[in-house]
Structure 1
Amino acid sequence: MDAVMAGLTPLAFWTAMAVTLLAGFVKGAVGFAMPLILISAFSAFLPPELALVGLMLPGLATNLSQSFRQGGAEALRTVAKYRRFLIGMAVFIVVSAQVFADIPRVGYLLLLGVPVTAFAAVQLAGVPLALPLRHRNGAEWLLGVIGGLYGGVSGIWGPPLLVFLLSTGVAKTEMVRAQGVVFLIGAVALLAAHLGTGIASPERLAFSAALVLPAMIGMQLGYRVQDRLDQALFRRWTQGLLVLTGLNLLRQAFM
């Protein structure tokens, strides 16, 4: 047991397990927010490096499930459709991971939290913000790069993807699958990058592996909720959760 606790007290370890169960449930229900919940909660009682590595293996496991829930052919079609976002994100995760220790935490939390909160709040208020078709390719590249820049230093690259998906009005099933595919490739890039930096040490990865089981249990419970949500309600839940996500990022910045 000591091998997976990474030097934590029993209270801290089991708190991390409980938080991961909740985060897995939310991800199963709406397709995202697990890294956001984990990094927000973990940062309160774990060292930054352990908090970042802790979310890596649960992220890989849950995103594999989410990506292939409708089968391999649909997952591959999704990869092809969102290839611009994926390339931009994966490249810049690796780039930004190299400067993990040099990025002021307050800076990136503010730069991500303000636009995400504003975008989601406006959408939640009923103001449509659809991207014109002629601008979608450029927006996809740009948001992929932004997601990668944040992902390498924080483990969070979901908000830029959600901004793109909400702006293009994709259906619920495709939206959840796209998140799974993008998050899976991002999770692989993040793990590879931090194996290189040494942050993903064997001790920290053992702790991360222990969190896979509660993440998967939570996700299976969340799937039951997702399957009952109609398109309009799912979109509202996504917008509302994105507002809370942005506000939480701002809270962390000012704390």
Structure 2
Amino acid sequence: MSELFGLSPSLIAIAVLVFVFAGFVKGLVGFGLPAIGLGLMTVFVGIEKAMLLILWPSFLTNVWQALSGGHLKMLVGRLWPFLATAVLTLGAGTFILTRVPEGVADLVLGLLMVAYALPMLAGLSFKLQERHAVPVGIAAGLVNGVFSGLTGAFVVPGIMYLQALGLQRDVLIQAMGLLFLLSTIALGLSLGGFGLVGGSELLASIALVVPALSGVWAGQRFRRRFSDTAFRKLIQLAILALGLYLVPLGILRLIQ
């Protein structure tokens, strides 16, 4: 059989390496699996198929992240307006994905990566006062939901909002996991509702859980040994590089 799970042997090897690396980053700093997985796999299989491949690895790694840490009840009580908006508006982004020309999603994903990485590399930080947390959270959730449905990446502007709340590192990591988990569930339902989920892609996604979790395990071990600041800089540089690659790629596909 020349293909397995709808992927050629060379693509399977690439996907395994991509998800080990993306899982490693996820284990190291608490995020990055969808962004890195999508950014790399989009180059080989396109944005829609890449979004399907990340579903199960993203879901299971986010279950672990969202439920570990001991702050779940507090986070749900504090963040529910932001989380609910991010979930409820995700379907709008998926609807847009089914209507826009090929290349638009690549372009948007690249711009999102650049928009996230540049301020962080420049040392930019935001601090929200408590009275502004709910209205800003609803606005951030709306934008995050639409972009998540369109691109399959859940980071912009959600992570910026969570950082602006001033959460401590372990609480922030669990809050990101909660956002990513709920967004992954909503994305899976939305892709299925719009007829974008195929059997072979889902089987491939399930198979890629193993390399993703292996990467997470390795990343967690390395987290104890190295400076979080140094690794965050490297990850942000990698996301920036992927974004700068995807922007011209999306433009090229649009004009073809």
**Equivalences for 1:61-72 in 2 at 5 Å?**
61-71=60-70
Mapped contact 1:56–1:187 kept (Cα < 8 A): yes
1:250 to 230, 244, 251: 244
What residue ranges of structure 1 are gaps of 5+ in the alignment?
none
Matched, 1:105 2:99: no
Comparing 15-24 with 101-110, greater Cα deviation is found at: 101-110
- CA distance in 1 between counterparts of 2:139 and 2:247 reads 24
Name the structure 1 match of 2:253.
none
Mapped contact 2:86–2:143 kept (Cα < 8 A): yes
Name the structure 2 match of 1:59.
58
Describe the superposition over 1:22-53 as per-residue Cα deviations: whole angstroms up to 9, x where unpaired.
Answer: 11111011000100111111011114322110
- CA distance in 2 between counterparts of 1:169 and 1:241 reads 21
Matched, 1:120 2:120: yes
Describe the superposition over 1:149-190 as per-residue Cα deviations: whole angstroms up to 9, x where unpaired.
Answer: 111011101131221122232211011111111100000000
How much has 1:122 moved relative to structure 2? 2.9
1:148 to 122, 145, 150: 145
Normalization by structure 2: what TM-score?
A: 0.86
Name the structure 1 match of 2:218.
221
How much has 1:247 moved relative to structure 2? 4.4
Name the structure 2 match of 1:18.
17
Mapped contact 1:105–1:253 kept (Cα < 8 A): no
How much has 1:236 moved relative to structure 2? 5.8
- CA distance in 2 between counterparts of 1:42 and 1:106 reads 11
The amino acid of 2:131's aligned partner reads R
- CA distance in 2 between counterparts of 1:145 and 1:193 reads 16
Across the aligned residues of Structure 1 and Structure 2, the Cα RMSD in angstroms comes to: 2.3
**Equivalences for 1:1-255 in 2 at 5 Å?**
5-71=4-70, 74-103=71-100, 104-105=104-105, 107-109=107-109, 111-123=111-123, 127-228=124-225, 233-234=227-228, 237-238=231-232, 241-242=235-236, 244-255=238-249
How much has 1:128 moved relative to structure 2? 4.4
How much has 1:243 moved relative to structure 2? 5.0
The amino acid of 1:40's aligned partner reads G
How much has 1:227 moved relative to structure 2? 4.1
Describe the superposition over 1:54-84 as per-residue Cα deviations: whole angstroms up to 9, x where unpaired.
Answer: 000100010011112235xx32322222112
The amino acid of 1:156's aligned partner reads A
- Relative to structure 1, is the Cα distance of residues 137 and 235 closer, same or farther in structure 2, using a 3 angstrom cutoff? farther
- Relative to structure 1, is the Cα distance of residues 113 and 20 closer, same or farther in structure 2, using a 3 angstrom cutoff? closer
- CA distance in 1 between counterparts of 2:149 and 2:112 reads 13
Mapped contact 2:16–2:211 kept (Cα < 8 A): yes
**Secondary structure of the structure 2 residue equivalent to 1:159:** coil
Residues paired across the two proteins, number: 246
The amino acid of 2:17's aligned partner reads A
What residue ranges of structure 2 are gaps of 5+ in the alignment?
250-256
Mapped contact 2:110–2:245 kept (Cα < 8 A): no
- CA distance in 2 between counterparts of 1:240 and 1:88 reads 31
- CA distance in 1 between counterparts of 2:125 and 2:94 reads 35
Name the structure 1 match of 2:254.
none
- CA distance in 2 between counterparts of 1:22 and 1:169 reads 29
- CA distance in 2 between counterparts of 1:14 and 1:167 reads 39
Give the share of equivalent positions with the same residue, in percent: 25
Mapped contact 1:35–1:55 kept (Cα < 8 A): yes
The amino acid of 2:108's aligned partner reads Y
- CA distance in 1 between counterparts of 2:235 and 2:77 reads 28
Normalization by structure 1: what TM-score?
A: 0.87
